[in-house]
Structure 1
Amino acid sequence: MKIFLSADIEGTAGIAHWDEADREKADYQEFRELMTGEVLAACEGARAAGATEVLIKDAHESGRNIIVDRLPAYAKIMRGWSGHPDSMMFGIGSDFAAAIYTGYHAKAGSEANPLAHTTTTRVSRVLLNGKVASEFTFNALCAARYKVPSAFLAGDAEICADARALVPDIETVATLEGFGRASLSISPAQAREAIFNGVKTSLEGLSSRTVPTVDGPYEVTVEFVNPTDAYRASWYPGASICGPRAIGFKSDDFFEVQRALRFLLD
């Protein structure tokens, strides 16, 4: 059984400030360790459920965060960014039994995490078919393109709720809750234990997992913070200005939405 793991950092237990997610800052090393610890807990949970291989996509910023020497022998890791539209899900394929997610965070426009955003801090919101979308929204639908169910997610309380709204049978672990620029978090030790148990439980029940539909049509709207970014993005083929600082794109094919976002959010 092959499992795909997409790992981010802004939903890691204990995180509260951008300095803790920035490799140029002193605080980053501690949270790089904590991110790695949550990834390892997920790998161990998958292994306990029968996984023979876990492919990890290091999906935060540089794509070079996880401490690779701590990975188990049955794990592989995709580091850096290829430029492929699958982005945070690059490496997934139809031969994977499930996708799982660690360190995930609330969407742009939310106050549920001091580090809430969607792909970039240059956008205030991203909408898919009129609903505000998160990175998980697009990543779960990317997995669904390959007929792979999203079985588990760990991250802040709001992204857990959003994940359950899109994938009702997904297992989640809420690591923290945001209050303005503050966060209330469970301990890293508790998070790792809960992630291990949650991943194990989710994968043991894979036969009942559902896959979201990826039938179009799709309409994505990107609301930028800066109007100059919106103007530049408006030149993407098929994109159009649809409001102040807002760019729209329509397609019946979800991969074309992914391709557009790859360039609109660059």
Structure 2
Amino acid sequence: MKVFISADIEGTAGITVWDEARKGHAAYEEFREYMTDELVAACEGAKAAGAKEVLVKDAHSTGRNLILSKLPAYVTIVRDWSGHPDMMMFGIDDSFSAALYTGYHNKAGTDTNPLAHTLTGTVSRLLINGEVASEYTLNALCAARYGVPSVFLSGDAGMCAEAKLLVPRIGTVATSEGFGPATRSLTPKASVAAIRAGVEEALSRDLKSCLPKLADSFELVVEYTNPHEAYRVSWYPGVEHPAPRTLRFRASDFFEIQRAIRFIV
């Protein structure tokens, strides 16, 4: 069994303010360690469930956050950004048995995580076929393009609930819950234990039941916080600009949606 893990940070247990997620700030070093510990717990759970290979994509900000010396020897890691439209899922292919997500956060405009956003701060809403999408939505559909089921996610409670709307049988661990700018969170030790156990359990079930069905066609709508951003990227081929802050793009292949997002978001 081969397992792919996409690791973010804003859904890590305890994280509450942006300085804790941004390289160069004093608080970042502490939460970088917690991000790494949660990722390692997922790797250990995968190995206990029978995984022979684990590929990790460091999927936050610079793509260079995880503390490499803490990673098990059986793990390989993708760091930084290649420019490929798979973005946070770069490295996945149809040889993987399952995709996992650690440290994930809810979508822009939600109040379940003080750091909720979708890809960048310039996006107020991103919709796929009329449904407001999170980064997880995009990434689970990316995995589905390769026939890879999304079987586990850890992150804020709102994100866990959202994940189950797309993949009802996905295993989740809620690391925290947002209350305006505040959070109520598991301790790092409790989060690590829950993630390890949750991943092992998720990978021991019927994986195919966690494969979302791809639609026959897709409509991407991006609503920006600033009309200047929408105008600047409205020149991407095939993009419509129906309102000052809104762009629309349609395609039959989800990869074309990913490619558009890569250049307009």
TM-score, structure 1 as length reference: 0.98
Residue 91 (str. 1) matches residue 87 (str. 2): no
Partner Cα separation in structure 2 for residue 210 and residue 75 of structure 1: 23
Query: Shift in Å at residue 210 of structure 1?
Result: 3.2
- The answer for the alignment partner of 2:6 in structure 1 is 6
- The answer for the alignment partner of 2:180 in structure 1 is 180
Query: Shift in Å at residue 213 of structure 1?
Result: 1.3
Aligned positions of 1:108-123 closer than 5 A: 108-123=108-123
- The answer for the alignment partner of 1:227 in structure 2 is 227
CA deviations on 1:94-136 (whole Å, 9 max, x unpaired) are: 0000000000001011111100000001111111111110000
Contact 1:7 1:39 in 2 (8 A): yes
Partner Cα separation in structure 2 for residue 209 and residue 71 of structure 1: 29
Partner Cα separation in structure 1 for residue 111 and residue 160 of structure 2: 14
Structure 1 residue runs of 5 or longer lacking an equivalent are: none
User: Match of 2:200, SS?
Assistant: helix
Contact 2:231 2:244 in 1 (8 A): no
- The answer for the alignment partner of 1:131 in structure 2 is 131
CA deviations on 1:144-185 (whole Å, 9 max, x unpaired) are: 000000000000011101110000110000011111111111
RMSD: 0.8
- The answer for the alignment partner of 1:47 in structure 2 is 47
Partner Cα separation in structure 1 for residue 242 and residue 161 of structure 2: 29
- The answer for the alignment partner of 1:59 in structure 2 is 59
Runs of 4+ residues deviating >4 angstroms: none
Aligned positions of 1:157-236 closer than 5 A: 157-207=157-207, 209-236=209-236
Aligned positions of 1:245-256 closer than 5 A: 245-256=245-256
User: Match of 1:209, SS?
Assistant: helix
Query: Shift in Å at residue 207 of structure 1?
Result: 4.4
- The answer for the alignment partner of 1:241 in structure 2 is 241
- The alignment covers a number of residue pairs equal to 265
Report the more deviating stretch, 3-12 or 176-185: 176-185
Partner Cα separation in structure 1 for residue 204 and residue 151 of structure 2: 10
- The answer for the alignment partner of 1:143 in structure 2 is 143
CA deviations on 1:60-91 (whole Å, 9 max, x unpaired) are: 00000000111111100000000000000000
User: Match of 1:63, SS?
Assistant: coil
Partner Cα separation in structure 1 for residue 259 and residue 209 of structure 2: 27
- The answer for the alignment partner of 1:80 in structure 2 is 80
Partner Cα separation in structure 2 for residue 115 and residue 45 of structure 1: 27
Contact 2:149 2:208 in 1 (8 A): no
Partner Cα separation in structure 2 for residue 123 and residue 206 of structure 1: 36
Contact 1:216 1:251 in 2 (8 A): no
Partner Cα separation in structure 1 for residue 30 and residue 147 of structure 2: 36
Letter in 1 for 2:80: G
CA deviations on 1:16-40 (whole Å, 9 max, x unpaired) are: 0000000021100000000000000
Partner Cα separation in structure 1 for residue 135 and residue 207 of structure 2: 26
- The answer for the alignment partner of 2:24 in structure 1 is 24
Partner Cα separation in structure 2 for residue 237 and residue 203 of structure 1: 41
Letter in 2 for 1:148: V
Query: Shift in Å at residue 242 of structure 1?
Result: 2.2
Contact 1:6 1:56 in 2 (8 A): yes
Contact 2:171 2:199 in 1 (8 A): yes
Task: Give aligned-pair identity as a percent.
Answer: 60
Partner Cα separation in structure 1 for residue 256 and residue 158 of structure 2: 28
- The answer for the alignment partner of 2:154 in structure 1 is 154
